[in-house]
């Protein structure tokens, strides 16, 4: 019965923690939409980053358990990791927004009038060079940047949850609690990303479409800032 309570607690906390933390899904939804990633690729990036996100705290928790480190000390380490991850998310968002604004401005078409002896015509062009495409592909550094941010980002509730069965030397319970928390966190992240990405794929932002990268970067930076300010 005690194990069931621990697992249910891990599932509940993992679900709520992921749901109220926009950093768990907004970066994938917005960058996936901006870079025109397929839903399959966006889902894959989300799952891999989710695994890295959970494993970072699991490893820290297990090291703490093995060394007998107090819960308070580990929570302080997690707090530092959380601040670092928030700053990184803000930095990635700002950098992406600046790059996106540059791409959007260069993508604006201009119409020129041309008069010849026997002809008058117009033509339009933009300032994007042949190598300025922004198609999302596996070689992009964006998935790697997201992965690093998520590995550094802590799962704050996991450490206290892990410590309770560990203090009782119940390693079987420790494994089950870890698996439950990790599974619900990654599943919730993925489900939200898939559902919201499907909706965004159908939306045409009109003239704002060329600024979709900048908008994505701004919202990602805001989500990082909200995590830092409100502790989501």
Within a domain: 123: no
The predicted-structure confidence for 100-150, as pLDDT tens digits, reads as follows 888 878 765 544 454 555 554 554 444 444 444 444 443 466 788 888 888
Task: Please give the pLDDT value at position 45.
Answer: 93
Give the Cα separation of 199 and 52 in Å (integer). 26
Residue 205 predicted with pLDDT over 80: no
More confident residue, 126 or 217: 217
Return the ∠ at Cα 102 (arms to 101 and 104), rounded to 5°: 60
Domain assignment of residue 77, given as a range: 2-14+25-108+134-230
Within a domain: 161: yes
Within a domain: 174: yes
Task: Please give the pLDDT value at position 162.
Answer: 67
Q: What residues contact residue 77 under an 8 Å CB cut-off, 6+ apart?
A: 60
Within a domain: 90: yes
Within a domain: 122: no
Give the Cα separation of 227 and 168 in Å (integer). 33
Within a domain: 149: yes
Give the Cα separation of 60 and 83 in Å (integer). 16
Give the Cα separation of 121 and 195 in Å (integer). 47
Provide the number of structural domains found in the chain: 1
Within a domain: 128: no
With cut-offs at 50, 70 and 90, classify the pLDDT of residue 225. confident
Question: What are the two backbone dihedrals, phi and then psi, of residue 111, each rounded to the nearest 5 degrees?
Answer: -105, 130
More confident residue, 201 or 174: 174
Within a domain: 73: yes
Q: Is the dihedral of CA 115, 118, 122, 123 positive or negative?
A: negative
Percent of the chain with pLDDT over 70: 74
């Amino acid at each position: 019965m005690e194990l069931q309570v621990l697992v249910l607690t891990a599932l509940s906390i993992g679900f709520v923690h992921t749901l109220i933390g926009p950093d768990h899904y907004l970066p994938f939804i917005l960058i996936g939409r901006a870079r025109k990633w397929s839903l399959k690729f966006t889902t894959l990036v989300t799952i891999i980053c989710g695994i890295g996100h959970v494993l970072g705290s699991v490893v820290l928790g297990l090291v703490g358990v093995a060394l007998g480190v107090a819960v308070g000390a580990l929570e302080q380490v997690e707090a530092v990791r959380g601040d670092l991850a928030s700053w990184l998310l803000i930095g990635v968002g700002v950098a992406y927004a600046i790059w996106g604004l540059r791409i959007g401005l260069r993508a604006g078409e201009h119409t020129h009038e041309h008069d010849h002896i026997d002809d008058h015509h117009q033509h339009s062009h933009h300032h994007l060079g042949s190598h300025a495409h922004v198609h999302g592909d596996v070689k992009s550094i964006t998935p790697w940047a997201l992965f690093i941010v998520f590995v550094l980002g802590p799962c704050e509730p996991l450490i206290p949850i892990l410590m309770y069965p560990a203090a009782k030397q119940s390693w079987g319970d420790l494994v089950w609690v870890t698996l439950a928390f990790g599974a619900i966190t990654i599943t919730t992240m993925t489900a939200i990303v898939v559902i919201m990405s499907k909706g965004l794929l159908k939306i045409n932002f009109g003239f704002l479409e060329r600024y979709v990268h900048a908008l994505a970067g701004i919202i990602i930076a805001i989500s990082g800032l909200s995590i830092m300010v409100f502790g989501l």
